Structure 1
């Protein structure tokens, strides 16, 4: 059974939210300031770079969530989520469903670029495939898992992108 939310509060799920100066964290701040409950997700293996991806720590993500909850009186939840792994997506969305019952806004913000910068005709094909797995297939994985939690009421899906992922 989902935990009750405050009144008619909406719930926003944001991937790629652990960088305090990044778009995901800014989205979370804005949604919380508007009264939305927020679910902040990101890779959470520790503050390191693995295979070219900056991993945030779950502790840092939890600090951001705690700050948002305290500052705006909303529920804020930090979850580890690797959008390139189906089991990670399913586990995170299961927690969201149990906790909030639904998702009103999904921001597929997680993104990266693998491989060294190079001209397209020299770009490493394995790095290209890894990049697509996060930036494109990851969006599909999360969206497919989120849609059942978005049915029955107006909801939004936003898929930002940039040259950096």
Structure 2
């Protein structure tokens, strides 16, 4: 593993209980060295946030972060395998040391989308992997992020989900992925209920069928799918939208 790269600066702290301006917000995006996560990082950085670009392969993350810095973004790659508690703990320590705050968490890392599997015959090791990445990976990061957000009574957590994880969605394919995203939706609602009134908003967002490595060709532009995630990551305190499931800023059925 490559040695950690120092963060470029310590962000100024906003007053307790106030909404920090974008230039003071620290955002962490998991699974961000390509595809949807990379575009979310680009859009958050363009809004003025300092973005920590999480990647399992730090070299790939560094390459992606460098490209975004060339565009003017304040972006730093960080080592992050969401299935490794050691990575999550080490990153939390770095954030504490170098920033003392984390304002936005986008749980984007996801995998195990297999159209050929069926619920009666799928390899349970594959199902376990899907749950570890798509559900428990987000859970680990939320548990690390919430104490930072409570400190300033401000936070935005976005769990990148999927319409195929809705309970009433029809389909027999992708059972591991569907079940893991349905579980992520349930976790989103529970965490939102726990944190209601704290200043921390928790929502799930389906980006739609996006033309990425996982989604395959023929989907909508990545920028369009990312826009709804960035919207949820930037919600104002007015209205306190939390515990919702959205696509393109509109509520969709659980």
TM-score normalized with structure 2 length = 0.53
Moved runs in structure 1, 4+ residues, more than 6 A?
none
Q: How does 1:4-153 map to 2 (within 5 A)?
A: 4-5=10-11, 8-19=23-34, 22-44=35-57, 58-72=58-72, 74=74, 76-113=75-112, 117-151=116-150, 152-153=152-153
TM-score, scaled relative to structure 1: 0.80
In structure 2, the gaps of 5 or more residues are 1-6, 13-20, 165-173, 178-254
Q: Which has the higher contact order (CA 8 A, sep 6+)?
A: 1
SS class of match (1:158): strand
Cα distance in 2 for partners of 1:28, 1:103 equals: 15
> What is the alpha-carbon distance in structure 1 between the residues aligned to residue 114 and residue 44 of structure 2?
33
Q: State how many pairs are aligned.
A: 148
1:43-75 deviation line (CA, Å, top 9, x unaligned):
11xxxxxxxxxxxxx22311222232342352x
Supply the RMSD in Å over aligned alpha carbons. 2.3
Q: Which moved more, 1:2-11 or 1:106-115?
A: 2-11
Cα deviation, residue 36, structure 1: 0.2
d(CA) in 1 for partners of 2:10, 2:42: 22
- Consecutive unaligned residues of structure 1, counting only runs of 5 or more, are 45-57
Greater mean deviation of Cα atoms: 61-70 or 124-133: 61-70
